[in-house]
Amino acid sequence: MRIDQGWLSTATALASPNADQRPDKSDISLLVIHNISLPPGQFGGGHVAELFTNTLDPNTHPYFAEIANLKVSAHLLIDREGVVIQFVPFDQRAWHAGVSAFAGRPACNDFSIGIELEGTDTDPYTHLQYERLVKITQCLMAEYPALSSERVAGHSDIAPDRKTDPGPAFDWARFKALI
């Protein structure tokens, strides 16, 4: 596994239009772990990729009508089977964090990489998801020296008034011990 021009060699590339230039490409110093499932609580179906590429059909599910116009993305998605899709190159800003702050610094999208795990706050994540997340995190830390185990946060840590993911189902101790 390696990173070439911002793209992870082992990921399927599916470019999202919901990205832009970072203020400073060399300032990648935070990894944010999220969860997502579409429709909520359901896995598979490709709807997360549709959301991140602005192709989600609002008529497919009632919930989709509420979110189809959102312009959001993440750098990576790791699905329940461990399949990794990359939507935004790491040297660009993905739109995953929203209003956020880490260590007193606002606007986390400017300096972070966002990884979505297909899941919910309460459903245990799969062994394959942890396996892929650990290897990817190690690769990212090797590529971007400002990243460290102390600079990995959940979405709930950087936006505590708005977000709860990756939730209590995410085993932080397991993840941190493996990276």
Q: pLDDT tens for residues 144-161?
A: 999 999 999 999 999 999
- pLDDT, residue 59, reads 96
- 174 lies in some domain: yes
- 91 lies in some domain: yes
- pLDDT, residue 60, reads 94
For residue 133, give the CATH number of its domain: 3.40.80.10
CB hemisphere CA count around 107 (13 angstroms): 7
DSSP helix/strand/coil, 49? helix
Q: What is the pTM of this model?
A: 0.97
Count: domains in the chain: 1
Domain enclosing residue 123, as ranges:
3-36+75-178
- pLDDT, residue 56, reads 97
**116 catalytic, yes or no?**
yes
- 47 lies in some domain: no
| pLDDT tens digits for range 81-123 | 999 999 999 999 999 999 999 999 999 999 999 999 999 999 9
- 42 lies in some domain: no
From CA 179, how far away is CA 141, in angstroms rounded? 9
- 62 lies in some domain: no
- 31 lies in some domain: yes
- 58 lies in some domain: no
Write down the number of H helices and E strands in the chain. Answer: 5, 12
The letter for the amino acid at 50 is: E
From CA 103, how far away is CA 100, in angstroms rounded? 10
Catalytic residue among 50, 66, 81, 116: 116
- 10 lies in some domain: yes
From CA 21, how far away is CA 13, in angstroms rounded? 18
Per the structure block, which two tokens stand in for 171? 């085993």
List 21's β-bridge partners, or say none.
92
| Nearest residue to 147 (alpha-carbon basis) of 7, 34, 31, 1 | 31
The maximal CA–CA distance of the chain, rounded, in angstroms, is: 44
